[in-house]
Amino acid sequence: MTMPALFQAIQRARDQAKAILDTLETAGHPQTSESSGLYLGLVTLQKRLTARGTGAPAGEFSTELEQLASLCTGKLASLKPLLEEAARLARGGQGG
């Protein structure tokens, strides 16, 4: 697994989470707070990943990514595959 690939996967999920959050906020949708929490979780995870550097093992992030993916219901469902892919990359590209 390359750290840049994981970073890019998280960045894609973060960008999509931000777009969903903006849409839900504008509409006053009840899932806005869940969306905000998910987005902030991705921002935090991405900052921690950056701080670790490119040579650090990233496996510890897989569990967090899987937990975030489990929150992706309703309007957030489109984020689930992105987060599952990022978790797979964090595990070293292995299935499972």
Mean of per-residue pLDDT scores for the chain: 90
In one letter, which amino acid is 36?
S
What's the pLDDT tens digit per position in 29-72? Answer: 999 999 999 999 999 999 998 888 766 678 888 999 999 999 99
**Residue 57: how many other CB atoms lie within 10 Å:** 11
0.75 cut: is pTM over it?
yes
Q: What gap in Å lies between CA 91 and CA 9, rounded to an integer?
A: 13
**The tokens of 16 are what?**
């999509």
**The tokens of 87 are what?**
């978790």
